[in-house]
Amino acid sequence: VQPLDAPEHAHLTAAGLSVRCISTLDELESALSHGQVMALVIRHDSHLDLLQSCQNLMQRAACALPVVCRVDRRNLELAVQAMRQGAAHVLATDDWSTASWQMAHQAIQALRLSSSAASMVARMAPPSEVVAAATPQKSVVYVDPVSRHLLALAQRVAQANVTALIEGPTGAGKEILARVLHESSKRARGPFVGLNCAALPEQLIDDMLFGHEKGAFTGAQKDFKGLFEQAQGGTLFLDEIGEMPLHLQAKLLRVLQERLLTRLGSERQVAVDVRIVAATNKDLRTAIAERQFREDLYFRISTFKLRVPPLRERTGDILPLVASLLLRHAPNASNFTLSEEAQAQLLAYPWPGNVRELENVVQRAVVLCANQHIEAHHLMFDDAADFQMPMVQEAVSTASNEALQFPDTSASEDNTVIASNLQEAVKSSEHQMILAALQSTDSRMEAAAKLGISPRTLRYKLAKLKAENGNLAWAA
């Protein structure tokens, strides 16, 4: 094995990497067996034999490390082969820029996070029941058999340069699947550009999609490339396309048919090379029957249809998602564990808000648990009142023995509330957290943001709390 020379060593160090030079495969095998290696940087001349040998050693050592391959910039075929063979990143042998090494560092970190998520999931549940699967680029979790089937189908669809329509409820992960389609396609090196059609007024959607020329309207002080032009060579993701106004649907259809667009205020046509991936939480066939969506546009955008099921239909994804979310939101996330009772509740809850709601629950649990061990009473569900918690004896015992402190809610001198069952413990924890947020912020809007809920949800919970505890001044 050819060792790194001084400039390579210096730039790796400058990029934030601790470097150890290994000159033989025997030395590498010893380092792997002692867990002393977090990533590999390998140089290749004309073949990938060294990469294959290193991968064989890692397989024998039962470890999967990110690998950065350095190849001659004139040997593009070798670079492509390295990526196909599992390299996390490829750099030219004459590229000495710290920025390039920092990009390699980011690729290494992404793979290490995916590995940490898999390790955390293995600690949360029996190995026979949980298998971690994630794409290195985005740590996307597709573990449940339903999700694995969807991922396999999406990766096949990605290879065809056709439009795709993703259907599914709000918060289920439609944009994540759209990114999988992009990153698994031949357009992966191009841009991924997204637009939520429900989030903008009609006039702004028109301008955002198709652009304008300088002077086209008052305030148009310079030319603006619309999202079609910004996505040239890549993918344009149109989220909530069912909310697009009818006259813009007609304009979009024409661009898709002719692959040409005209900016507002211009007579010049611009050729566009963009793949369209659309998403909706509506039944577009019903919208067509109600004359709210064009049938011809529907057939144009739905060459392939993919359905993202709600989270309650893919429970095998829940615990791996929790692991991934902990990595995103919790300091020292790899040290977190979930009790069996907490796992049971997470798996039993129907998740009307899907992955977005799960993210809120995880964030609240991180705030509530003090010792990096998440118990059932740390889980605060948005619709807990309508959810029959799975009754696990140990969780009930733990909750019933825990005294939860509340503000003075009555004339009684004893303001300690004893939780008599698990559901009451969860409700009490929720009340306590709401009070703490209100006391530590200057407004309800700030309190809602701190709790990870909307101001409207906070108002509802306060009104409900006041109805249950009549004289709560702080809930007024």
Model confidence over 363-413: pLDDT tens digits? 999 888 888 889 999 999 887 655 555 544 333 333 333 333 333 333 333
Return d(Cα 222, Cα 373) in angstroms, integer: 55
pLDDT at 339: 87
Q: Which residue has the tokens 């918060």?
A: 171
pLDDT at 228: 94
Model confidence over 352-363: pLDDT tens digits? 999 999 999 999
CB atoms within 10 A of CB 91: 23
Which among 16, 36, 15, 19 is positioned nearest to 27, based on CA atoms?
Answer: 36
User: Residue 219 has what DSSP assignment?
Assistant: T
Residue 310 or 216, more confident = 310
Q: Categorize the per-residue pLDDT at 3 as very low, low, confident or very high, splitting at 50, 70 and 90.
A: low
Percent of the chain with pLDDT over 70: 70
Least confident of 214-228, 273-287, 418-432, 445-459: 418-432
Which among 419, 412, 418, 346 is positioned nearest to 384, based on CA atoms?
Answer: 346
Contact present, 186 and 159 (Cβ < 8 Å):
yes
Which among 111, 112, 67, 109 is positioned nearest to 90, based on CA atoms?
Answer: 67
Q: Categorize the per-residue pLDDT at 461 as very low, low, confident or very high, splitting at 50, 70 and 90.
A: confident
Q: For residue 54, with 0-12 CB atoms within 10 Å meaning exposed, 13-18 middle and 19 or more buried, which class applies? A: buried
- Bridge partner residues of 237 (DSSP): 194, 277
Model confidence over 16-43: pLDDT tens digits? 566 777 778 888 888 877 766 667 787 7
Model confidence over 121-157: pLDDT tens digits? 544 443 333 333 333 334 467 778 888 889 889 989 9
Q: For residue 156, with 0-12 CB atoms within 10 Å meaning exposed, 13-18 middle and 19 or more buried, which class applies? A: exposed
Percent of the chain with pLDDT over 90: 30
Model confidence over 274-287: pLDDT tens digits? 999 999 999 999 99
CATH numbers and ranges of domains, the chain:
6-96 (3.40.50.2300), 145-311 (3.40.50.300), 339-475 (no CATH)
Residue 118 pLDDT greater than 60, yes or no = no
**b/e code 59-83 from CB counts within 10 Å (16+ = b):** eebeeebbbbbbbeeebeebbebbe
- Bridge partner residues of 142 (DSSP): none
Sign of torsion, CA 373 121 425 433? positive
CA dihedral 83, 106, 196, 208 (to 10 degrees): -90
pTM of the predicted protein model:
0.56
pLDDT at 298: 96
Model confidence over 77-87: pLDDT tens digits? 677 677 667 77
Residue 68, phi then psi, degrees to nearest 5: -105, 125
Model confidence over 60-109: pLDDT tens digits? 776 667 787 877 767 766 776 776 677 767 776 665 555 555 555 655 55
Model confidence over 251-265: pLDDT tens digits? 999 999 999 999 988
Give every CB contact of residue 64 below 8 A, 6+ residues apart in sequence: 58, 115
